[in-house]
Amino acid sequence: MEDQEAEESEQPGQLGRVAKAPPSPEDLLAQDIANLWLAAPGYQVSSAVIWLHHQGESEAMQEMLFRNFQLPEEVGRVRWLWPRAPLQPSSIRGHSPTLQWFDVKEYPICRVVRAIPDRARKGEDENDVSAAVKRAETMVRALEVEGIPRRRILLGGFGQGAALVLRTVLQSQEPFAGGVVCSGWVAGSSDVPDNISEGGRSTALLWCHGARDDVVEPRLAAEQAKALKEKADVNLRFVLFPEMQFELASRALQEIQRFVTERLLSAAEEGKEAAEGVLEPG
């Protein structure tokens, strides 16, 4: 038997047996999470929304803001997920353990820190941001393993959570149902990341920002949104709210509700058409 296997792999012009790569820790975790949902009767859904909170906060406040959020029946059953960021040492808090997706060196988020002399703001570490994207991808993979395709998963977030949503969507090989960025920014070393994929470009993004935001500079946000649209052809709509600060104000929530409804309805319709296409006789 051993000689036969060796012969199969060594004969020229033939493909030998390709060893299947062992599942990654992220894949195993995704499978475990999916198994928990699959084992719970009545929790099966057709779409999902993952919403990520800001640094130093928890998911509780965000969840409370969306408690009156209503979607039409045509969307189908939707699961809202409110993951909590891991506790990590925070540079802005003297390396104290803080709920954060990645480390931020300094606030406000801007290009230039006014000082004597003025200096460039210290940006986020690219490896740290990439690790956070991996964590977000694990949440998405769990839904996919459960049977919910990426085109029916919408990502949204506020503050640092929004920054993570933006990077996760932009480098996804397959498009999401949509993405919501509220008071976010392009984290990392560039306004236009190098690893933007076709799936990221084609995903519809809504970016809401307050003109009075003193945490993430509105001018920087507008410039980054413009760069993504013009230099990378990202499908993005930027909305500036004149009276809004660093918050999820009522007008922004209304805009988000319209966008989420539109994107999930579109995803549901696409899924229905695909299913009908499969059922049609050849």
Task: State the pLDDT at residue 25.
Answer: 75
- Indicate whether 39 pLDDT > 80: no
Alpha-carbon separation of residue 259 from 25, 154, 171 (angstroms): 34, 10, 21
Domain positions in the chain: 24-277
**CA 220, CA 120: separation in Å to the nearest integer?**
13
pLDDT surpasses 80 at 156: yes
DSSP conformation letters of 100-142: -SS---SSSB-SEE-SSS-EEPP---HHHHHHHHHHHHHHHHH
Mean pLDDT value across residues 121-139? 96
pLDDT in tens, 165-191: 999 999 999 999 999 999 999 999 899
CA separation for the pair 184, 70 (Å, rounded)? 24
Q: Of 109, 108, 110, 88, nearest to 99 (Cα)?
A: 88
Task: Please state the rounded mean pLDDT for residues 200-228.
Answer: 98
In this prediction, residue 277 carries a pLDDT of 60
Rounded to whole angstroms, the Cα distance separating 181 from 163 reads 7
State the average pLDDT for the chain.
88
Note the pLDDT tens digit of each residue in 69-124: 989 999 999 999 999 999 999 999 999 999 999 999 999 999 999 888 999 999 99
Q: CATH assignment of 24-277?
A: 3.40.50.1820
| 276 CB burial (10 A radius; 0-12, 13-18, 19+) | exposed
Quickly tell me which residue has 């039409």 as its tokens. Answer: 72
Of residues 210 and 43, the one with the higher pLDDT is 210
At CA 50, angle to CA 172 and CA 147, rounded to 5? 70
Supply the DSSP string of 233-282, one letter for each residue.
---EEEEEETT--SS--HHHHHHHHHHHHHHHHHHHHHHHHHHHHHHS--
Per-residue pLDDT band at 13 (split at 50, 70, 90): very low
The confidence band for 36, taking pLDDT boundaries of 50, 70 and 90, is low
Instruction: State the Cα–Cα distance between residues 161 and 113, nearest whole angstrom.
Output: 23
* 4 or 91, higher pLDDT: 91
The set of residues, in sequence order, having a beta carbon less than 8 Å from that of 34 and lying 6+ positions away, is 142, 143, 145, 146
pLDDT digit string, tens, across residues 219-254: 999 999 999 999 999 999 999 999 999 999 999 999
Predicted confidence band at 6 (pLDDT cuts at 50, 70, 90)? Answer: very low
Rounded Cα gap, residues 12 and 9, in angstroms: 8
CA dihedral 222, 228, 231, 236 (to 10 degrees): -100
* Residue 275 pLDDT grade (very low, low, confident, very high; cuts 50, 70, 90): low
Q: How far is CA 48 from the centre of its chain?
A: 12
Q: What is the mean pLDDT of residues 187-211?
A: 96
Q: What is the per-residue pLDDT for 37?
A: 60
Reading the block at residue 205, the tokens are 């993004």
